[in-house]
Amino acid sequence: MTFKLPPGLALQKVDERIMTLNVGPQHPGSGHMRLIVQIDGDYIVACDPDPGYVHRGEEKMAEYRNYILNIPHLERPVIHDSCNVLYPYVLGAEEIIGIEVSERAKYVRVIASELNRCIYIMYWLAIYGIFLGHSTMFMWPAGDRELLIDLMEKITGARVTHAYFVPGGVRNDLPPNFEDVCLRQVNYFEKRIKEYAAIFYDNPILIARTRDTGVLSRQDAIRYGTTGSVLRASGVDYDLRVKEPYDVYEELDVHTNVMKEGDSYARSKIPWLDMLESCNIIRQALQKIPKSGSVRTKLKPNPKGKGLDSVYKRVESGRGSLGCYIVSDGKVEPYRVKLSVPSFRNLIALPNLLRGEKLGNMPSVYWSLNYWPVEADR
């Protein structure tokens, strides 16, 4: 047969010693994603991630809807972190439409996005716990997460999919007496997550399973272009809230958590430290927020871009830097919306981390990447 296979369908000959194993897409250890793993005995020789099982064409849909109608569907990739996913899109749309945001709205956004960051990390921590066989670590974060979900429900009216940020501010103001309730809940939440150290992070079994597995060196973390907790666990001091502060992060005191080890343990501890930092930021923001004022600048019904224009905005989400590239041609719909998501960027590290690891270490390495399959597929 002279039929030429298109690039991408060429078959790979596998050695007799080496077995190919499909992990996923229905396997709970990989999320909605397939990992094609080649193993020699108990050791992983090669790993080929195959995402795309939850690809929903968000970027294509965004070309058909105007700047406001895009809001409810662009937050779907990560519903637990929906404020942070929308954040760069909203910042970009504001620049394209040309609209100012009031000071109070900026503080409300910071509070909402920090609450959302904690909600996301708690969900991730619950999954990380259960895949390491630690049932208590599944129950506790899943329960304590409710505290913050209740707060977000008070602000936005929805438990997970908020659609709260709009170009020009936020959808509605904080409820009356919110500052006191929020402060009380956040203080309790902080006290509660500090207890996780004793049961999880100082647990000798967890340390034995995650120390020195999947080590990512500082040099490689930079070369692969990883971001967020993966990058900071490898000793790179980079957090967009400090390096390129957006909205009012400039006025807040944000501390960047950095660890040098670069192993699964460090990658799983950084998000937990981030939650403690988020509690600090929320308390600062609650003190500094202007007590009154508008939270939403009025928009025309069908806002248009100013002409040929392109913006690239990025924020620090629960998983790392999240960018949004918007191209406008002066119509009511954006010409192109591209989400540059942290999960997709961190995925490139996975084959390199798993090479040479034991198969049993795969879940701990995979989930330590803070990977969210739906976000990577978009």
Partner 1 sequence: MSTETENPNADDTSEVESPPKPVVKKPEIVPVVIPAFEKSISDKIVEKFGDKVEVGFVKEDRVRINVGRENVHDVAEFIRDGLNYDHVESVSGVDYPQDNEIEVVYHIGSYDDSSLARQILVLATRAQRETNPIPGNDATRLPTLRDVFYSVEFHEREVFEMFGVFFEGHPDNRRLLLPEDWADLPPLRKDFTIKGR
For partner 1, the binding residue among 231, 252, 281, 354 (CB under 8 A) is 231
CB-based contact 78:374 (threshold 8 Å): yes
Q: Return the number of the residue (25 or 276) whose C-beta is nearest partner 1.
A: 25
At residue 190, what is the residue type? Answer: E
* Under rule CB under 8 A, residue 327 binds partner 1: yes
Q: Return the number of the residue (10 or 198) whose C-beta is nearest partner 1.
A: 10
Neighbours of 363 (CB within 10 A): 22
* Under rule CB under 8 A, residue 243 binds partner 1: yes
Residues in Cβ contact with 360 at an 8 Å cutoff, skipping those fewer than 6 apart: 42
Spatial strand order of the sheet with 43-50 comes to 19-23, 34-40, 43-50
Q: Return the number of the residue (228 or 363) whose C-beta is nearest partner 1.
A: 228
For partner 1, the binding residue among 32, 80, 106, 345 (CB under 8 A) is 345
For partner 1, the binding residue among 155, 182, 236, 353 (CB under 8 A) is 236
For partner 1, the binding residue among 189, 196, 249, 325 (CB under 8 A) is 325
Rounded-to-integer distance, Cα 303 and Cα 61, Å? 18
* Under rule CB under 8 A, residue 307 binds partner 1: no
- Piece of the chain touching partner 1 by CB under 8 A; list 155-163, 173-181, 198-206, 340-348: 340-348
* Under rule CB under 8 A, residue 191 binds partner 1: no
Q: Return the number of the residue (189 or 249) whose C-beta is nearest partner 1.
A: 249
* Under rule CB under 8 A, residue 304 binds partner 1: no
Structural element, H or E, at residue 65: none
In 125-205, which ranges are E strands? 165-166, 169-170
- Piece of the chain touching partner 1 by CB under 8 A; list 73-81, 120-128, 165-173, 236-244: 236-244
Q: Coil, helix or strand for 204?
A: helix
How is the chain split among helix, strand and coil, in percent rounded to 5?
A: 50, 15, 40
Q: CA 113, 117, 118: angle at the middle one, nearest 5?
A: 125
Q: CA 196, 197, 198: angle at the middle one, nearest 5?
A: 95
Q: Quote the least distance from Cβ 276 to partner 1, whole Å.
A: 24
Q: Are strands 308-316 and 321-329 parallel, antiparallel or unpaired?
A: antiparallel
- Piece of the chain touching partner 1 by CB under 8 A; list 106-114, 261-269, 281-289, 341-349: 341-349
| Residues 34-73 as x/- pattern, contact with partner 1 by CB under 8 A | ----------------xxx--x-x-xxx--x---------
DSSP, res 301:
S
CA count, 13 A, side-chain hemisphere, 302 = 7
Q: Return the number of the residue (234 or 264) whose C-beta is nearest partner 1.
A: 234
* Under rule CB under 8 A, residue 188 binds partner 1: no
Rounded-to-integer distance, Cα 274 and Cα 281, Å? 10
* Under rule CB under 8 A, residue 273 binds partner 1: no
Binding site for partner 1 (CB under 8 A): 6-9, 50-52, 55, 57, 59-61, 64, 222-225, 227, 231, 236, 238, 243-244, 310, 312, 314, 321, 323, 325, 327, 335-336, 338, 340, 344-345, 347-348, 377-378
